[in-house]
Each structure stands twice: as C-alpha cells, then as structure tokens.
Amino acid sequence: MGRWSQRLAMPFLEFAGVPSRGRVLDAGCGTGSLTLPLAAHQGLEAIDAVDFAEDFVAALRGRTNDPRIRARQGDVCALPYEAASFEAVYSLLVLHFVSDADRAIAEMHRVLRPGALAAATVWASGGMPSWRLFWDTVLLHEPTAEAIAPVRRPLTSAGELRMAFERAGFMHVVETRLTISMDYADFDDFWHPTAYGQGRFGAFFDALPEKNRDRLRDAVKAAYCAGEREGPRSFPSTALAVRCIA
C-alpha cells in the first residue's frame, strides 16, 4: 500500500490544509508517506511522527535528515504527547486499522490546541476495485482463503468517519471523497506485491501445493487481463476524508 498512500497524501493535504507555521503531528506515520510532504511546508517549525511499528519509524528516519522531523514509536490510541501541543494532527489510512478508533480520535483531540486542525482519511468500503478483483478471484478458486480475506472495517462507509469525529467533540466537520488512480505496469506489478510482500496472503500462498499456486496465479492473471493483452491497467480508488476543528 505504500505507493498508494504516497499518491493519496497530496490530495489529502490539499483538502485538509496545512498551518502556515507551528507544530504538527502525523499520527500513524508508517514510513513517511504523509510526513515527508508535510516537510515541504517550510513554515512548519516541528513535524512529529508516531507509529506503532518500530521498523516503520526506523524507515522514516532513514528517509530524511530534516531536523524538524521527530519520529518515534508509539500508539495512536495513547499518543505520547502532552495536551494542547499541536496546531494540526493528521491521520492517513490508519484509523480503520487501529484497535479503538474512537479512543484514537479522542487522543487527536486531546493533543490539539483549541481551534487547531484535525484531518483523517480511510479507504472507502468497496472503494478499491483492484482489491476486489484480486480477492473475488482468489476466493472463487481457493475458498480456504476466506479465513484471511479482508473484512469491512470500521469508519469506511459514508458518514461513519464524520460522526466519529463529531462524537469526539470536534466542530465544523467536513467529509469528502478523494479518488486516486492505482496504476499497474503489467500483471507482475499487480501480483507480486501481494503474493510476495507483507500481509497474510503471502504466507497463505506459500503454503499451498505448487499446482494450486500455479492455478491461482493463472486465475488472477486472467481476471486482470479481462480478455485483453497483458499490459498496463488503471483502477480508480476512493478514500473518505474529514477535516475539522478542535
């Protein structure tokens, strides 16, 4: 997902806005898909970034020498910062994965100064047709994969993200949809990141008998090609986003 979070970061920031100065937080920074675009705003005096995965934090540290960026390990459901510390807090593709989204949003509110900005985005339910193509095909040909198949996550239906921020006491909550294009150069570009990258499918796929692996790969390739020659494919993909004031 890293390349798609990088692609989503710019329209997300254009929608959310960035303070002209002060201190901001990237809550759930991953490897820096949002942190680094925030650093392009020279007026910001400090850019804090926190993520639960220490290896992601280390990767972000290795990608920048900007002295304003301070990356640390931590939990977005218990942010390791004092109250009223930030002019803005952002969350890019995180809140639908955390253990307690309401608590994480309450923590975002706690660390913001009164009148400061919060913004968040999550993938919309059904908003990733490339993902649906992949999993619909896998489940059709290998039903045992149902145990690891993605399920609908919280906050991913229209209105859910907005209502969660309103419950936390945020004001002037505005919700929108952001659409990016997930572009693949060819089938291998589509297949390899999921079959051999991070995630539960890779281990599941490796454990299959070789004939099952070959059959499954061929089936996904046929779905990708959809009767056409193999080559580039583009899938419009949609996220929900909110911005609001503490």
pLDDT tens figures, 106-161? 999 999 999 999 999 999 998 899 999 999 999 999 999 999 998 888 999 999 99
pLDDT greater than 90 at residue 214: yes
Q: Rounded mean pLDDT of the chain?
A: 95
H or E element, residue 23: strand 22-27
Quickly state the pLDDT bin for 45 (edges 50, 70, 90): very high
CA distances from 34 to 9, 58, 211, 214, 224 (A): 6, 15, 41, 37, 30
Question: What's the pTM value of the predicted model, to 2 decimals?
Answer: 0.93
Query: Is 62 in contact with 38 (CB distance < 8 Å)?
Result: no
Rounded to 10°, the helix 187-196/210-225 angle is 140
pLDDT in tens, 2-29: 789 999 999 999 999 999 999 999 999 9
Residue 1: predicted pLDDT: 61
How far apart, in whole angstroms, are the C-alpha atoms of residue 152 and residue 89? 25
pLDDT band with cut points at 50, 70 and 90 for residue 199: confident
Identify the band that residue 37 occupies on the pLDDT scale cut at 50, 70 and 90: very high
Measuring CA to CA, which residue among 124, 91, 121, 93 is closest to residue 106? 91
**Angstrom distance (rounded) from CA 163 to CA 159:** 6
Local structure of 167: helix, strand or coil:
helix
Specify the DSSP element, H or E, that contains 29: none
Percent share of the chain, pLDDT over 70: 99
Domains present along the chain, CATH in parentheses: 2-128+151-181+237-245 (3.40.50.150)
- What is the C-alpha separation between 28 and 98, in angstroms, rounded? 9
Residue 78 CB coordination number (10 Å): 10
